[in-house]
A and B are shown apart, each in its own frame.
Chain A
């Protein structure tokens, strides 16, 4: 069959197995090689080479005859040259014979590379653990110092914009707001709506055991406005926009675009980072507000369908339990969250080195750190608001 033939000839251009025949030729051990000495047969070639070396050790004179070799590639030539080299360093001589001059040329060309790197010493395991802990602490310290420095640079950059409003990059800011707030709104509305539904449903299910179903309005209203909306939005934005900012700045760093800005006398912080952080600081409160409204809609819908609380009852109750400060708590937190996300995303983006692997690592770090810091900041705010009884 034609197709089968093609496969065979292509996958294994020559089907002849490599062979070595040993002949005693008037006191000279003649090693007659045949077949295909190419990389497809690497294992077999290695085994043959080991056997040849073995047999050569006992022979006073030797000859390597390549005349019958069909195909010799760099691997075959290298292994044979290694055999020759081992023989010669052992003080012996070996004659290489071939009808084809390119065999000898190839063997000379490939050389010998037997300098294996020694395996790295494995240090004492407990020491290694301590070293790792120490390194992690040092890295954490550097991160903190780097973050503080960077914070300073951003403040200076922002101040430059305030002092010289000509440096303010309006189009860039609007573009970023579109990317962050406008394009991000649908997904944030959807998840907030669903989370509002879930909280309301769980709340009603528990509260109806006490006949206090109507308190679901207090539960969902306060929870969504104070915590859920801002947390959901921040986490979503850290994942959605934080990662985008890191990847964008990181790939600009990789392609030396950041350096190009610097040599043009432009400050990358002013040009790239301040507009992004500003866009985040503007977008996040808007998104938090949208998220609150969607969450409350979800809660109202479930209260009506599942808890039998009519829309008018829900709204009336909402009006009586929710004061403006619950609403304000959520919105006050939003710009701080935005600032933290933007700071971490830009910092990680600038930390990207040359490789694509490093880009991936920094984007991951950016999202993980940003989400972690969002939750830490939220906890700090919770303590702060409770201590001022807000």
Chain B
């Protein structure tokens, strides 16, 4: 990875289809979403916009349905009503073929990695490529190595099976698989959970770098305060079955919702908060 190269990449130039001064393109637009399992209503009247080229961090108490929201956007959970537009298309109006085509533009990293345990890391990364793309076997191998290198895994990890990898390596390998098809939107479910602070910081940096070089939009469910402070452009908060606040860190701190106050005003949050925000929080 060349340091020079990263600095050259002005994030603004990534969205050159969109004039800079105009409002940024909304890639995921959720309106009035309701999800219920039987009698139990998980979310009701939820609105959310995700902009192109941003890293949106998503917080919420345990059991508040952060993962359910992700899974609903991905189409893994049925919604009761509401609309979800992804890349300008209402997902309900799409037929199966269109739906599959849309899914190809998602990359998903599950919390536990969800690497196929019967395949090696390389085969895991190649699986979506093999399924959707037509390329020579040599290039297929080389592209798998490119993805491994992008996420910072050593070349000898390619032939290992997922059970031989450490927690951090599993996260990286899962990210490499999520990036296999050069997706537009990447969903990360607690990407830094279970990583040590050094590994977590590296992972945050990696996601920022990838966002800048590949122009990714990242939707990240996380509880890692450092990730929220350092990697995320905006933060969304889920409570009371809807999104109670969305915006940069300052917006979170300005909110007087009791849950957000408890979350960002807690001792752990204060200790890690960037100094310039600390007085806003008080």
Contact = CB atoms under 8 A, between A and B. Distances in A.
Is the pairing of A and B real?
A: yes
B76 interface: no
A27 to B, nearest CB: 29
A38 B135 contact: no
Q: Give the dominant DSSP class at B's interface.
A: helix
Interface of B: 1-2, 4-6, 8-10, 13-14, 16, 87, 89, 94-95, 97-98, 101-102, 104-105, 117-118, 129, 133-136, 138-139, 141-143, 145-147, 149-150, 155, 161-164, 179, 181-182, 212-215
Nearest to A112: B142
Interface in A6-49: 6-7, 10-11, 13, 38-40, 42-43, 46
A116 B4 CA distance: 29
Nearest to B144: A113
A274 interface: no
Contacts of B212: 105
A43 B9 CA distance: 29
A104 interface: yes
Contact of B8 (A73, A82, A105, A357): A105
Given A73-B182, A102-B215, A11 B101 contact: yes
A111 B5 CA distance: 12
B80 to A, nearest CB: 25
B213 to A, nearest CB: 5
Contacts of B138: 116
Contacts of B13: 100-102
29 contacts: A10-B87, A10-B101, A10-B105, A13-B105, A39-B181, A42-B133, A42-B135, A42-B139, A43-B135, A74-B146, A79-B139, A82-B142, A101-B13, A102-B213, A105-B212, A105-B213, A106-B213, A106-B214, A108-B2, A109-B2, A109-B5, A110-B146, A110-B150, A113-B146, A113-B149, A114-B142, A354-B163, A355-B117, A356-B118
B238 to A, nearest CB: 29
Contact of A42 (B6, B134, B145): B134
A355 B117 CA distance: 5
The 4 A-B residue pairs with the shortest CB-CB distance in the complex, in nearest-first order: A354-B163, A42-B135, A355-B117, A357-B118
Contacts of B10: 101
Given A78-B146, A110-B146, A354-B163, A3 B129 contact: no
B133 A39 contact: yes
A75 interface: yes
Contacts of B142: 78, 82, 113-114
B150 A109 contact: yes
B256 to A, nearest CB: 41
A115 interface: yes
A106 B141 CA distance: 19
B134 A74 contact: no
A353 interface: yes
Contacts of A39: 129, 133, 135, 143, 181-182
Q: Could you say which of A82, A105, A111 has the most chain B C-beta atoms within 10 Å of its C-beta?
A: A105
Contacts of A101: 8-10, 13
Contact of A75 (B5, B150, B182): B182
